[in-house]
A and B are shown apart, each in its own frame.
Chain A
Amino acid sequence: MEIVSWQFATFSACVLFIYYFLTLRAQKVWLLIASYIFYLSWGLPFAAILFCVTALNFFISRRLGNHHARRRLVLWVAITGNISLLFFFKFATSDYGPRLVQLLNSPTAFITQFLLPIGLAFYTLQAISYLIDVYNGQMQAASSFVDFALYMSYFPKLIAGPIERARNFLPKLAKPRMVTNETLSRSFTLIIIGLIRKMVIADVLPRMISIDHIWAGINSRYATAELALWLMVYAFTLYNDFAGYTSIVRGVSGLFGIELSPNFQQPFFARSFTEFWNRWHISLSHWLRDYIYFPFSRALLRRSEGQRNLINTVLPPLITMMASGLWHGFSVSMLVWGGLHGLYQVVERIPFVARMIAQPDEQPRWRQAILMLIVFLLTMVAWVPFALKSLQGNAGALAFWNALILTPHWGFSNLWFLVVLFPFALSLWIDAMQYRARNETVFTSWSPAAQGVLLALAIVALFFFGITSQMKGFVYQGF
C-alpha cells in the first residue's frame, strides 16, 4: 500500500474513524493492529521480520535495564545482531551478494530471492538508539510490549521514517491525545504541502528531462549545462520526494494526535555542510551524530588526552558520513557519496575556512548567499554517484564528472528543458515561505481569502499533475 494512493487514504480514514472512539490504551492497541495490517500489505515475511526484531529488542532492553555485570556485552551483542540483519539484507540485495555467491561456486538462486524488507533500515536504527539510550540510562526500558511494538511499527513512519527516538516517542503514547481545529488545520496543510512536493514537483521533474535523454548523448550531443540541469532535477526530485513523504506522514500522524519529528528544513538554504546535515534528513543525521560521530570523537579525544589533532578532526566526520553512505546502499558509489560529504565537513573544519563560515547568521548577506551557492554546487557534485549508483562505465559517476567538469561542452540542444525552472521555483518558493516564517505550516497564518486561493491553486495543480499520472513510490522506500 503506497502512501500516495487512494487505498492508503481510505485505510487511514477507517483507522482514524475507529481510533477517535477508543480509550487511550485501546487506541494504542488499535494503532498497533493497523500498523501491522498496513505492513502486511507489503508482504507477510516483512511483517514477520519486524515482529521478530521488535520482540528480540524488547526482551534485550529488559535485560539492559537490570543492572548486571554483562550489560555492556549484551548491548554489543544486540547492536551487532541488529546491524548484521541490516547488513545481510543490504548485502544480499546489492549487486555484490549474487557476485560473491557466484565466486564461492554456490547457486545464486538462494541469494537472489531476498528482498530488502521495506523500512528495515529505519526501524533497525530506532531499535539501536533505544537500546543505547536504555543502556546509558537516558530512559527506562519500555514496560509495555504494545508501546514498544508501536514505537517500532507505527504505520505513518514505518516505511521511510522519520527515525524517532524512543525517549521522545514513548512519552507521547503515554499522554492523552487531542485533535483540535488547529491540529486538523496543521495536519491537512502538511498533507497538502507533501502532496504538492511529491506529485507536482518530484513526480513531474524527471518527466521533463529524463536521464535516458541525457545519457544517450553524453560526450557528444548533450551539453554541460544540460547535464548540470539534470543534476539539479535529480536533487530537487529527491528532496521534494522525501520531504513530500515526510510532510504527508507527519500530517497523517497529526490526525492521530501524535507529532512526528521534522526531517527537512530547507536544506538548499544551508550555508555550511554542517548546517546542510542539520536540514537534510534530520532524523538520520542526528542519529548518526549522536550514535557514531559523538561517541567516536569522544573516544579519539580520550586517546589523545583531550588534544585536538588531525586524526580527531578528519576521522569522525569521514567515518560518520561513510556510514551514512553504507546505510543508503551497499555499494562503492554510496561510499564515495558519503566520503565526499565527510571530506566537505573536514575541509569546513580547517581554521581558515571555519572562520569564514562560523555563525553564518552573523555574516553579511552577500557572503551568506555565496556560501549557500557553494554548498549547493558541491552537494550537486556529490549527488552524481548517489544518483547513478555506479562509478565506472559509460553510465558511471566518473564519466558524468568528466563530461560535466573536465570536458565541458557549451551549448544547449533543447530550450524546452528550461521548463524545469517552474517546479524549481515552486519548490524554492515553499522553502522561502517556511524559512522566513520559521514555520512549516506558515500558510495557516495567512488570511482566509489567501488560504482559500492557495487551496484552490493546490487543488488545480494536483488535478493537473496528479489525478491520472502514475503514482510512484517514494525514493527513500528503497533504502
Chain B
Amino acid sequence: MRQLIRFETLKLTLPSGRIFGWALASLLILAITGEIVLRIESMQSLLLPPSYGSSSVEFGIKLAKINSFVKQEGGVDCIFIGSSITDADVDPDVFRAAYKQFTHQDIACFNFSLAGLPPSSARMVATYLVQTYQPKTIVYGVSAGEFLKIFNQRETYSTSWLYYSLGVFSLEGWLYDTSYVYRYVPTLRYFYESDYRTLADAFSKRISSSGFDRSTVIAQIAIESPVSRDDYQMDAESFSGYRDLVDLNSANTRIVIVESPVHPNFLPRYVKGGKGVYESLFIEPISGYARSRGVPVWRTQSVLDAALPPNGWSDPTHLNVEGAKVFSEWLAKQYASLTP
C-alpha cells in the first residue's frame, strides 16, 4: 500500500485570499450598480421588457404595455385574455370606440391575450390581473383547440414569478420580483441574438398600446384539407383551469366567456365529428359550468358566420385587422347590453 499511496504531488501554501476578496467586492459593486442603473426608466426603455422567467417574449411586452396603459388611463375597466386567437380577434381601441357609440360612456380595455396561453395558465394570469389591476370585467376568449392536452404548455407562463405574485414563495420568484438585475438577466442574455431581436421587434411593432396583436395577413381560406384532429377530448387540467378562472367571478370583477369564432368552412373539420361533437364535447361543458356560476357565455360562431368578412381571416382560426374590427364592434354591443 505504501507503494501505491504517497501524497507528494500537491505542494500548496495557504493563499492570502486577496484576489478572491477583490473579486467578491467587485461582484457586489457590479450587482449594486446594476440594480441602480436598471431602475432608471430611460435605461429600461433601451432594453426589451423583462419576461419574469417566461420563455415568451410577448409576456414581457404585454406586462410593460399594460403598466403603461394603466399609468396613462388611470386604471383598466376590462381585460381580454385568451390565446393567440383572442390576441388577434379583439382590438380594444375599436371596442372602446364602438362602446362609446352605443352607450356614450368611455371604457378603458386592454387585451392581455398571449400566444399559446392554455386554460391551466390562463387562470393564473387572470388571477394576477384581477389582483393587480382590479378590472371590472375579464373577458375570456375560448376555442376548442385550446382545451386539448397538446396545447397545455404550462411552463411557458406558469413561472415562479407568477406563483410568487399569487402568494406561493420561491427564491427565484422573489429574485424576479425584487432584483432588477435578476429580472433583466434573460433580456440582456438574449438581447444580442438576431433571431430574438427580430421576434421581439416584430412583437413590439405589432402589438398596439392596448395590447391588440394586429395581423394584416389576408388568408385565402379554401379549407380543402385542414388539420383534422383526433377524437376530441378535453384535457382535464385545462378544464380545471377554466373552472378556476370562471370561479374568479365576483361582485368586483365580472367574468365573461366568449366563444372564439373559427372560419365557417373550417368548423366541420375543427374537431373530429364536426359541429355535433363541437357542441356536445366543447360548448356544452364550458357553457354548463359558466352558467352554473352565473357567468355569461357569448356564442359567436353561428351569430357571426355571415357578419365576418371573407377577407377578415389571417388563417382558419385567427382574424386579421378587418375581421377583428367587426368582431370587436360586435363584442362592444354585447358588452353594452350587459352593463347598465
A-B contact pairs, 9 of them (CB 8 A): A180-B12, A207-B195, A416-B194, A419-B192, A448-B19, A452-B26, A457-B26, A464-B188, A468-B189
CB-CB contacts below 8 Å: A445-479 with B: 448-449, 451-453, 455-457, 459-460, 463-465, 468-469
Asked if B10 lies at the interface with its beta carbon under 8 angstroms from chain A, I say yes
Interchain CB contact (< 8 A) of B185 among A208, A414, A464: A464
Asked if B197 lies at the interface with its beta carbon under 8 angstroms from chain A, I say yes
Q: How far is the CB of B193 from chain A (nearest CB, A)?
A: 5
CB-CB contacts below 8 Å: B1-21 with A: 3-13, 15-16, 18-21
| CB-based nearest B residue for A466 | B189
Query: Is B9's CB under 8 angstroms from A257's CB?
Result: yes
Size range of the chain A interface in the assembly: 35 or more
Query: Is A452's CB under 8 angstroms from B5's CB?
Result: no
Note all chain B residues with C-beta closer than 8 A to A366.
Answer: none
Query: Is B9's CB under 8 angstroms from A27's CB?
Result: yes
Given A448-B19, A452-B19; A181-B189 close (CB under 8 Å): no
Q: Total interface residues on B, using CB and 8 Å?
A: 32
Note all chain A residues with C-beta closer than 8 A to B37.
Answer: none
A179 CA / B11 CA spacing, docked (Å): 6
Given A22-B6, A23-B6, A416-B197; A451-B22 close (CB under 8 Å): yes
Note all chain B residues with C-beta closer than 8 A to A364.
Answer: none
Q: Is the interface of A mostly helix, strand, loop or mixed?
A: helix
Asked if B168 lies at the interface with its beta carbon under 8 angstroms from chain A, I say no
A417 CA / B192 CA spacing, docked (Å): 9
Query: Is A179's CB under 8 angstroms from B194's CB?
Result: no
CB-CB contacts below 8 Å: A92-111 with B: none
A257 CA / B12 CA spacing, docked (Å): 13
Q: How far is the CB of A441 from chain B (nearest CB, A)?
A: 14
Asked if A20 lies at the interface with its beta carbon under 8 angstroms from chain B, I say yes
A184 CA / B15 CA spacing, docked (Å): 11
Query: Is B193's CB under 8 angstroms from A208's CB?
Result: yes
A207-B192, A451-B23, A455-B26 are known contacts; what are 14 more A-B pairs with Cβ within 8 Å? Answer: A21-B7, A176-B9, A209-B194, A416-B194, A449-B22, A452-B18, A452-B19, A452-B21, A452-B24, A453-B22, A456-B24, A456-B27, A459-B23, A464-B185
Q: How far is the CB of B256 from chain A (nearest CB, A)?
A: 40
* Among B9, B16, B27, B189: residue with most chain A CB under 10 A: B9
Query: Is A179's CB under 8 angstroms from B10's CB?
Result: yes
Asked if A204 lies at the interface with its beta carbon under 8 angstroms from chain B, I say yes
Query: Is B19's CB under 8 angstroms from A451's CB?
Result: yes
Interchain CB contact (< 8 A) of B27 among A208, A451, A460: A460
* Among A21, A184, A452: residue with most chain B CB under 10 A: A452
Q: How far is the CB of A200 from chain B (nearest CB, A)?
A: 11
A176 CA / B15 CA spacing, docked (Å): 24
| CB-based nearest B residue for A29 | B4
Q: How far is the CB of B179 from chain A (nearest CB, A)?
A: 13
Interchain CB contact (< 8 A) of A465 among B12, B23, B189: B189
Query: Is B9's CB under 8 angstroms from A177's CB?
Result: yes
CB-CB contacts below 8 Å: A183-229 with B: 184, 204, 207-210, 213
Asked if A178 lies at the interface with its beta carbon under 8 angstroms from chain B, I say yes
Q: How far is the CB of B120 from chain A (nearest CB, A)?
A: 25
